[in-house]
Amino acid sequence: MLKKVENYIVDHKLISKGDRIVVGVSGGADSVCLFHVLRQLISPYQLSLFVVHVNHGIRGGDAFEDENFVRELCNQYQIPFSVVHADVPAIARSQGLTEEEAGRNVRYQAFSACCEKNMCNKVAIAHNKNDNAETILFHLFRGSGIKGLTGISAVRGTIIRPLLCVTREQIESYLEQNNMDYRTDITNLSEDYSRNKIRHRIISFAKEKINPKSVEHIVNAANQLREINEYLEKNIEIAFWKVVSKQNQESYLLDITALSLEEPVIQKGIIRKVYELLADQLKDVDALHIKLILDLAKKEVGKSLNLPYQIQAVKGYTTITMRRNVLLEPNESDNLTKLEQVITIPGEYYVPQSQKIIRANLLDYKKSMKIPKNGCTKWFDYDKIKNTVMLRGRREGDFIQIDSQGNTKKLKSLFIDNKVPREQRDRIPLVADGKHIMWIVGDRISEAYKVSEDTKVILEISIDGGQKNE
């Protein structure tokens, strides 16, 4: 295994002589393996290593045992060690993130700080081939485009991943053969996290029942997609300035005729590139947003779209203008009093008044299923719904059930009790069953529709995009 990793490092030019490398070490098998691999390369590459361990504040005493294990490991080989303590659950709550997202942010901030302090030029992360396969499937299930399906790259900026060429099984076998201890994180065995479900249910099933080399094949397919994506990116770049002209840092013009001459996949790539230039990210931008912008070409002059990250697209006579930092008039976008959108089940669509994408699906309920705890996805007992489900702004007479005993409260009174400013009340999207508010989006749901042991069918509603207030 060691030779395979060394060859991978050379092939992908991950390490050069004299590199100063921050190494993320959790104490688990992958990161301990990475530690030992890099330790053995110190002499031939004249490396300086600096280990960072992050205590996420999740696993109590076990987390401190992990911390001590990594500290002792570094002391044994005289490698500089630093630890960062963070209350990841609290950070996740305050920032509206999952614990996975918050933990990742904390780790990369810690790596960056260590890099700056010790004048390091690289950060080594212990992602392996299994992690790559899990990431590819995760992006596939979320509806990612080709780029998301290319998986984890060996190099991204200063980040290097020397273990991407080996599987988790090869790593554990290497550690066992060389009598190298490591810690087991029990949260990796839990199915509370999406990636763990993919790992334990989907990939395990594929390896056992379909093909033992499933992980290898998933990663190989991603590598082929990476080549295809690189080819597409080159062609998008060539076509880009034939179609797009820059007005200023906050505005781009797209020539509709020139755009129409390109293949659909290139058209979409051009739109995504403009969007990324304006917003500096594409996290909440999906295929539906891109389609809506392209559809503007067939609309009347002056037609506009208000999109995530305060991006606006406007149809001109022969152009589409995309611009950012647009100050929207309250009556134009923020005020939802005129919004009355039927939620089609199942269905997916963009609602311009709320700048959000709505997705609705029906699920057969099983008692082992975990109810989502984030602010963007909610579950409802479908059989308790009496009317057509609507996404709308507030109306006179709206109410919500506030406890399991059936007590209700007028929405107006609830807003007053929660000190919601009057000017904000018309800007809050509501999911409604007649006058009964099922969900104050970004806040609570009605007790009347909560999933219980008697639930047979779940209505799952996800709302994302736009300026989140979750």
Mean pLDDT, range 167-189, rounded to an integer: 86
| Buried/exposed code over 1-11 (b: 16+ C-beta within 10 A; e: otherwise) | beeebbebbee
Mean pLDDT, range 191-208, rounded to an integer: 81
What was the pLDDT predicted at 459? 93
Q: What percent of the chain has pLDDT over 90?
A: 55
What was the pLDDT predicted at 388? 86
- Cα(455)–Cα(367) distance, rounded to whole angstroms? 9
- Which 3 state secondary structure label does DSSP give 64? helix
What was the pLDDT predicted at 422? 82
pLDDT in tens, 72-130: 999 999 999 999 998 888 888 888 777 888 888 999 999 999 999 999 999 999 999 99
CATH 3.30.465.60 fits 249-327, yes or no: yes
Mean pLDDT, range 319-334, rounded to an integer: 65
pLDDT in tens, 449-470: 999 989 999 999 988 643 333 3
Average pLDDT score, the chain:
87
A 10 A CB-CB count for 43 gives 8
- Cα(122)–Cα(191) distance, rounded to whole angstroms? 33
- Cα(198)–Cα(206) distance, rounded to whole angstroms? 10
What was the pLDDT predicted at 460? 92
Q: Could you tell me the pTM of the whole model?
A: 0.66
Residue 44: cis peptide before it, omega within 30 degrees of 0: no
Write down the architecture of domain 2-222 according to CATH.
3-Layer(aba) Sandwich (3.40)
| Buried/exposed code over 164-200 (b: 16+ C-beta within 10 A; e: otherwise) | bbbbbebbeebbeeeeeebbebeeeeeeeeeebbbbe
327 has pLDDT over 70: no
pLDDT in tens, 308-317: 777 888 899 9
329 has pLDDT over 60: no
238 has pLDDT over 50: yes
Instruction: For the chain, give every domain's residue range.
Output: 2-222, 249-327, 333-464
Angle at 444 between CA 441 and CA 447, to 5 degrees: 125
Tokens of 60: 């109590």
Rounded alpha-carbon distances, angstroms, from residue 360 to 79, 175, 343 = 52, 46, 7
Cβ pair 151, 165 in contact under 8 A: no
Q: How far apart are the first and last CA of the chain?
A: 46
pLDDT in tens, 34-80: 999 999 999 999 999 999 999 888 877 788 899 999 999 999 999 99
What was the pLDDT predicted at 343? 84
